[in-house]
Copies of this chain bind each other. A is one copy, B any other.
Amino acid sequence: MNAKTRKLSQSLPLGRRFGLLMRLYFGALTKKLEQLDIDRHFSILILIEDSEEGFCNQQYLSNTLNIDKTSMVRMIDYLVGKGYIRRASNPEDRREHRILLTEKAHRILPRIHRAINDLNSKATNGLNTSQLKQFYKDLDLLAENLAHEPRHTIIMNLEKAKSTRK
Does residue A16 face the partner (Cβ distance < 8 Å to B)? yes
Number of identical protomers:
2
User: When the two chains form their complex, are residues B22 and A15 in contact, meaning their CB atoms are under 8 A apart?
Assistant: yes
- Interface flags for A119-150 (1: CB within 8 Å of B; 0: not) read 11011111100010011001101110111011
Q: How far is the CB of A68 from chain B (nearest CB, A)?
A: 10
- Bound complex: CA A156 to CA B123 (Å): 19
Q: Please choose the segment from A81-89, A96-104, A157-165 that sits at the chain B interface, where 4 or more of its residues have CB less than 8 A away.
A: A157-165
Q: How far is the CB of A151 from chain B (nearest CB, A)?
A: 3
> A: which residues have CB within 8 A of B?
2, 4-5, 8, 10-31, 34, 39, 42-43, 46-47, 50-52, 65-66, 113, 116-117, 119-120, 122-127, 131, 134-135, 138-139, 141-143, 145-147, 149-162
Q: Please list the 8 inter-chain residue pairs (A to B) with the smallest Cβ-Cβ separation, ordered nearest first.
A: A157-B157, A15-B25, A27-B151, A28-B149, A24-B146, A27-B154, A18-B22, A30-B152
**Please, could you name 28 A-B residue pairs with CB atoms under 8 Å apart, sorted by A?**
A2-B50, A2-B51, A8-B47, A11-B50, A11-B113, A12-B46, A14-B123, A15-B29, A16-B65, A19-B156, A20-B66, A22-B156, A23-B66, A27-B151, A27-B153, A28-B150, A28-B151, A31-B150, A119-B149, A123-B145, A123-B146, A126-B141, A131-B138, A135-B135, A135-B138, A152-B161, A153-B160, A153-B161
